[in-house]
Amino acid sequence: MRPFEVKSPRTLREVVLSLPDDHRPQGARLVAGGQDLLTVLKDDIEQPTALVRLRGVPGLADIAVSAGGALELGALVTLQDLADHAGVRAAAPSLAEAAASIASPQIRSQATLGGNLNQRPRCPYYRHPAVVCFKKGGNTCLAEFGYSKYAAILGGGPSYFVHPSDLAPVLLALDATFHLVGKTGAREVKARDYYVLTDVALDAESVRRADEVLTKVTVPAAPAGLRSTYLKFKERASFDFALAAAAVGVRVEGGKVAEARVVLGGVAPKPWHSPEAEAALVGQPMNAETWRAAGAAAVKDAAPLEHNGYKVHLVKGVLFRALESLA
Ligand SMILES: Cc1cc2nc3c(=O)[nH]c(=O)nc-3n(C[C@H](O)[C@H](O)[C@H](O)COP(=O)(O)OP(=O)(O)OC[C@H]3O[C@@H](n4cnc5c(N)ncnc54)[C@H](O)[C@@H]3O)c2cc1C
């Protein structure tokens, strides 16, 4: 075990000032519930000299639901609180469903919203202490030519890991905004613009700078009549990450889809917004033919590797079932 210092600031300003200016693996790291970061340390993927605790900062664990159904969620809200909160379940059931689908009760009681949205990839090559892949400063993605069962079929290259968060696709579909505070001030980023592909950045999965803290997530009230769900397909019945998942919302008017939102999980290095699937839905009746067309459109540009062609079919099935459940 490598020694590291633990800092417990009491204000957000102190937290931000304790964080480094770049994503070097040896820089200080923000820690919330520690459910991802401690595994990253154990696997020697990062070697921080200091962990900066966020839990000492008051006011970051609150959930507020407006009368109209808009949500304000503090970064330190636990996944179990998200899953259980009556106001969240009523205003954004797909978000509560996604939170409930994550890991085990023990992990959900410690893991936080901010940590879930900023967790590192779970690719088995990336997580292997002896492997130095693109994501760790190396010059290859072993999933591309090696074992690719869990790798991306969309948006891959140069690295082919899949984004692990179940909450992220839902928050994109709900048109959420992420609120960040860093050394140079505060800014807001749409969930849809937060995550980046690996041809944009290899040392990070989002536009968040190393000194920035995600402080809260806001979700606007859903338009009247919009129904949403989150469906996740896992390899085993017990807790597991998604092989493919779909966060879907539809609003039907006069028997036809007037608005559609489709974001896929488990298939790309970022939550995969699919305007193609949305276009295949809008203007069409909610029936099996339409759902099949949406699935075909969602995987139109899929480029599977040697062992993950099954994900193309899985996406179609997950999307079909998610849409069917909303009909
Ligand atoms: C056995 C197991 C199964 C799991 N299954 C799933 C699953 O099915 N679906 C899923 O989505 N997840 C799954 N996870 C991942 C789990 O949800 C995350 O590890 C957890 O949510 C991380 O939250 P945390 O508060 O513990 O984060 P931490 O471990 O404290 O932090 C994680 C990362 O986020 C950064 N970070 C934390 N908070 C903030 C913030 N406010 N602003 C900016 N950066 C921040 C940290 O610096 C660190 O890099 C699983 C984990 C385990 C161990």
Helix (H, G, I), strand (E, B) or coil at 90: helix
288 C-alpha to center of ligand 1: Å? 36
* In the chain, % of residues over pLDDT 70: 100
Which residue, judged by its Cα, is nearest atom 45 of ligand 1?
115
272 pLDDT higher than 90? yes
Nearest to 247 by CA among 175, 139, 162: 175
20 C-alpha to center of ligand 1: Å? 20
Q: Closest ligand 1 atom to the C-alpha of 46?
A: 49
Predicted TM-score of the model (pTM) = 0.98
- What is each CA distance from 101 to 26, 153, 233, 322, in whole angstroms? 32, 23, 10, 15
Residue 260: pLDDT band with limits 50, 70, 90: very high
76 C-alpha to center of ligand 1: Å? 11
297 pLDDT higher than 90? yes
What Rg do the C-alpha atoms of the chain give, in angstroms? 19
189 pLDDT higher than 90? yes
Residue type, 20: P
Please tell me the predicted confidence (pLDDT) of residue 128: 96
pLDDT in tens, 190-202: 999 999 999 999 9
Alpha-carbon distance of 45 to 133, in angstroms, equals: 11
Among 36, 41, 117, 205, the mutation site with the greatest number of ligand 1 atoms within 8 A of its Cβ is 36
The 3-class secondary structure across 92-136, one letter per residue, is CHHHHHHHHCCCCHHHHHHCEHHHHHCCCCCCCCCCCCCCCCHHH
Residue 55 burial (CB < 10 Å; 0-12/13-18/19+)? middle
Strand arrangement, sheet containing 177-182: 63-65, 71-74, 213-219, 177-182, 185-190
* 298-304: average pLDDT: 98
* In contact, 89 and 96? CB cutoff 8 Å: yes
Among 54, 104, 118, the mutation site with the greatest number of ligand 1 atoms within 8 A of its Cβ is 118
Instruction: List all residues whose CB is within 6 A of at least one atom of ligand 1.
Output: 29-37, 54, 75, 79, 102-103, 107, 110-112, 114-116, 118-120, 164-166, 213-214, 239-241
Residue 75: pLDDT band with limits 50, 70, 90: very high
Helix (H, G, I), strand (E, B) or coil at 79: helix
107 C-alpha to center of ligand 1: Å? 9
Among 8, 102, 163, 270, the mutation site with the greatest number of ligand 1 atoms within 8 A of its Cβ is 102
Q: How many CB atoms lie within 10 A of CB 147?
A: 14
Q: Closest ligand 1 atom to the C-alpha of 208?
A: 43
Which residue, judged by its Cα, is nearest atom 27 of ligand 1?
115
Helix (H, G, I), strand (E, B) or coil at 144: helix
Helix ranges (DSSP H) in the chain? 12-18, 37-42, 79-84, 86-91, 93-100, 105-110, 113-117, 142-145, 167-173, 191-194, 275-281, 288-298, 310-326
186 C-alpha to center of ligand 1: Å? 23
Which residue, judged by its Cα, is nearest atom 2 of ligand 1?
103
1 pLDDT higher than 90? no
* In the chain, % of residues over pLDDT 90: 98
β-pair type (185-190, 177-182): antiparallel
Average pLDDT, the chain: 97
Residue 65: pLDDT band with limits 50, 70, 90: very high
Residue with token string 């949305």: 278
pLDDT in tens, 101-143: 999 999 999 999 999 999 999 999 999 999 999 999 999 999 9
15 pLDDT higher than 90? yes
Q: Closest ligand 1 atom to the C-alpha of 101?
A: 8
